[in-house]
Amino acid sequence: MLCYGALVWWPRARQKTTALQLEHVQRMACLSVTGAMRTTPTAALETLLCLAPLNLYIEEAAMTTSLRLHSLGVWNKQGRTTKHTRILTEAFNRIPLLRMGCDRMGTKLIYEKAYRISMNDNSEGRADIDIYVDGAKTDSGSGAGIYSEQLNAQISVPLGTHTSVLQTELMGIMLGARIIAEREIGNKSIRILTDSKSALLALDSCMVRSGLVWECRQTLKYVTQRNSVELCWIKGHSGNEGNERADEMAKRAARMPFWGPEPAITPSVALSNELVKQYTQRRHEQIWVKLSSCRHSRAWTNCVNW
| 55-59, Cβ contacts within 8 angstroms, sequence gap of 24 or more | 55/13, 55/14, 55/18, 55/19, 55/22, 55/23, 56/280, 56/283, 56/284, 57/3, 57/280, 58/2, 58/3, 58/6, 58/10, 58/13, 58/22, 59/6, 59/10, 59/13, 59/14, 59/87, 59/280
Separation between Cα atoms, residue 90 and residue 22, nearest integer Å: 22
Reported confidence tier of residue 249, pLDDT bands at 50, 70, 90:
very high
Q: What value does the mean pLDDT of the chain take?
A: 90
Amino acid at 246: A
* Predicted confidence (pLDDT) at residue 236 exceeds the cutoff of 90: no
Lowest-confidence segment of 55-69, 162-176, 280-294 by average pLDDT: 280-294
Reported confidence tier of residue 304, pLDDT bands at 50, 70, 90:
very low
Spatial contact of 64 and 280, defined as CB atoms under 8 Å apart: no
Domains of the chain: 6-102+267-301 (no CATH), 109-255 (3.30.420.10)
What per-residue confidence (pLDDT) applies to 101? 87
Spatial contact of 202 and 110, defined as CB atoms under 8 Å apart: no
Q: How far is CA 29 from the centre of its chain?
A: 30
What per-residue confidence (pLDDT) applies to 142? 95
* Predicted confidence (pLDDT) at residue 306 exceeds the cutoff of 60: no
What per-residue confidence (pLDDT) applies to 73? 87
Spatial contact of 188 and 162, defined as CB atoms under 8 Å apart: no
Q: How many residues are given for the chain? A: 306
Q: Which of the two residues, 291 and 193, has the higher pLDDT score?
A: 193
Other beta carbons within 10 angstroms of residue 201's beta carbon come to: 12
Coil, strand or helix at 169: helix
DSSP assignment of 39-103 equals TS-HHHHHHHHT---HHHHHHHHHHHHHHHHHHTT-SSTT----STTHHHHHHHHH-GGGGG--S
